[in-house]
Amino acid sequence: MERGVTRSAEKRRRRRRLFLGAFALLLVVVVILAVLYVVGVGPKEPALKPTFMERCEAFKGYECEDVWNAFQLGYVGKDPCGVTHEAYDPLMVGVPFRSTCNRLMFWSKTKDVVHNFTKESSCYVTVEETLLGSVLDGLTWCGKEGSNETFTTGCPGWTDCENNPVRSFWNRVSADFADSACGDVAAMLNGSIATPFHPDSVFASNEVKRFHFPRVKRLQVVLVSQENSATNCTNASLKNLQKELDPKISYECREVTEADLHDCSARPKEFCGNCW
């Protein structure tokens, strides 16, 4: 009987020690997480501004803080499905595209290849190599009503609603970029897909319609193809492109391989005009 009581008291003590130990451990974990959160290691949203500023500083002659403030006017404090392309007027006024002759490159469904090419060759410039295109390339952002903050998560996707901050930005920037085109214009399209000129693409819906003669004289489509490509320059979607183009602008289509592009970018700059 005596021994039985002692043993159960012993058990209770052990259980209490175990409980206190677990509680202390939990407390330590909570404190560590709280400290990490406060110093910014925790599950905080990544900030947009540092990336924006760092990319902006790579361009000379701009007040990046002013560019950031003009950009924010577009979406901060607004419903993330209520941002139109006009919302970016202050930004576009602050950082307008200069008219550029014979060097602008448009693209659709060839993002990696076209940027590798423009980086290697320095003959052509895509919108992503301009200040506005570069600072926001690949990023997501939005605001919220009643908040002055910029969010990078929980924002609407490209097709969730038409007037979302990211989509309106790219529509606006690509339209203004197309307006700045002059002389010969190039467009790199994808010959490995069935419809290289897709009506839903930014190029089709927003850029082609903005090329006007005599400012723009020629459109050269560079169809990046392989041995057994899905499409060639005879494809019906490219006939549609010609129909939508200002009829006074001359049109050419060239089928080139990725290897051709590589050879072309290895040539000296004075041959920029006749890569294809």
Ligand X SMILES: *[C@@H]1O[C@H](CO)[C@@H](O)[C@H](O)[C@H]1NC(C)=O
- Between 133 and 191, CB nearer to ligand X: 191
- Between 171 and 265, CB nearer to ligand X: 265
- Are residues 225 and 232 in contact, defined by beta-carbon separation less than 8 angstroms? yes
81 is catalytic: no
Q: What is the DSSP string of 3-28?
A: HHHHHHHHHHHHHHHHHHHHHHHHHH
- Between 176 and 255, CB nearer to ligand X: 255
Catalytic residue among 101, 161, 233, 272: 101
Closest approach, Cβ 269 to ligand X, in A, equals 19
Closest approach, Cβ 28 to ligand X, in A, equals 33
Question: Is 265 one of the binding residues for ligand X (CB under 6 A)?
Answer: no
- Are residues 154 and 107 in contact, defined by beta-carbon separation less than 8 angstroms? no
The separation between the first and the last C-alpha atoms of the chain, rounded to the nearest angstrom, is 101
The region of 88-96, 212-220, 224-232, 268-276 touching ligand X under the rule CB under 6 A is 224-232
Closest approach, Cβ 100 to ligand X, in A, equals 24
123 is catalytic: no
**Binding residues among 121-180 for ligand X as defined by CB under 6 A:** 148-149
Q: Which residues bind ligand X (CB under 6 A)?
A: 109-110, 112-113, 116, 148-149, 190, 192-195, 224, 230-232, 234-237, 240
